[in-house]
Structure 1
Amino acid sequence: MSRSRLSHACLLVLPLLHACASSEPVVPEARELLDTVRADAARRSNVAASQVRVLKVDSVTWRDGSLGCPRPGVLATQALVPGWRIQVEAGGHALDYHASRRGGFLACPAGRAQDPLPSGRD
């Protein structure tokens, strides 16, 4: 293989190797949302966004517009909502985020968190 072809091949493979070496989940369709969640977690934890680690990203279907995090006294749209459950670690604290595919998200405290529909039903 010529040197220029080898260089070109390396340029194509290096990003893939970086993604494989990363301990964070790679979810291309949620990349922008993950950046926003990372920034929010950094603000809440008083750390740099680069210090926020995405632990888990699950594709889910929420049971209603509360995104599995109902607030007392607040009514939610009664429709299934495709979205994400995102777990991050920031400043030594675990944070659970619930999001819709449209980009809306919220940090959901453990005491309010509800499970999405079981897999295979979304």
Structure 2
Amino acid sequence: MDVVRTRVVLALAVAACSLPLAGCADGGSSARPEETPVTETPSGSTAAAPGSADVRAAVADLASALGVDPAEVEVVAVEEVTWRNGSRGCAVPGDMYTQALIDGSRITLRAGEQQFEYHAGGSRPPALCENPTE
């Protein structure tokens, strides 16, 4: 009888541990994983100010990618946002992201006639977002 009881307890433990993971499954949801709504949050913080480290990093990255002088990259806008998840508004289909709110910023840059959007937040540096999904 102890073997049966052990198996039942083990089965219940596995089931209990699996419940928190059930929300991660697709489950046929009609929402596309690449959709990441953004909630803009006004703040007095200077973390996303035009001279901030994130903005300087985004300008340097874009200048390097385009092979231009950083002085040729114009900062068009810097907005503080709260990203809905770890994709920071730039989800890649098939990738998984933390499902927590992430404070960050949307940095819009211009080089020549083209505009580029960088998304920053959490502990990750700003990254070029070629297909924003907010």
Contact 2:104 2:122 in 1 (8 A): yes
Task: State the partner residue of 1:78.
Answer: 99
Contact 1:64 1:80 in 2 (8 A): yes
Identity among equivalent positions (%) equals 36
Of residues 94, 97, 114, the one that matches 2:133 is 114
C-alpha spacing 1:101/1:78, structure 2 compared with 1 (3 Å): closer
Of residues 117, 120, 126, the one that matches 1:96 is 117
Q: Distance in 2 between matches of 1:103 and 1:57?
A: 17
Contact 1:56 1:86 in 2 (8 A): yes
Q: Between Structure 1 and Structure 2, whose CA radius of gyration is higher?
A: 2
Q: Distance in 2 between matches of 1:29 and 1:76?
A: 23
Q: Secondary structure at the match of 2:60?
A: helix
Extract unaligned runs of 5+ from structure 1: 1-26, 116-122
Asked if residue 55 in structure 1 is aligned to residue 64 in structure 2, the reply is no
Task: State the partner residue of 1:67.
Answer: 88
Report Cα offsets for 1:17-74 as digits up to 9, x if no partner: xxxxxxxxxx842311111100011012221011111000000000100000001211
Displacement of 1:101: 4.8
Q: Distance in 2 between matches of 1:57 and 1:64?
A: 19
Contact 1:98 1:106 in 2 (8 A): yes
Displacement of 1:104: 2.1
Displacement of 1:79: 0.4
Q: Distance in 2 between matches of 1:86 and 1:44?
A: 16
TM-score between the two structures when normalised by the length of structure 2:
0.60
Extract unaligned runs of 5+ from structure 2: 1-44
TM-score between the two structures when normalised by the length of structure 1:
0.65
Count, aligned residues? 87
Contact 1:54 1:89 in 2 (8 A): yes
Q: Distance in 1 between matches of 2:64 and 2:112?
A: 10
Of residues 29, 40, 44, the one that matches 2:47 is 29
Letter in 1 for 2:47: E
Letter in 2 for 1:113: P
The alignment yields a C-alpha RMSD, in angstroms, of 1.6
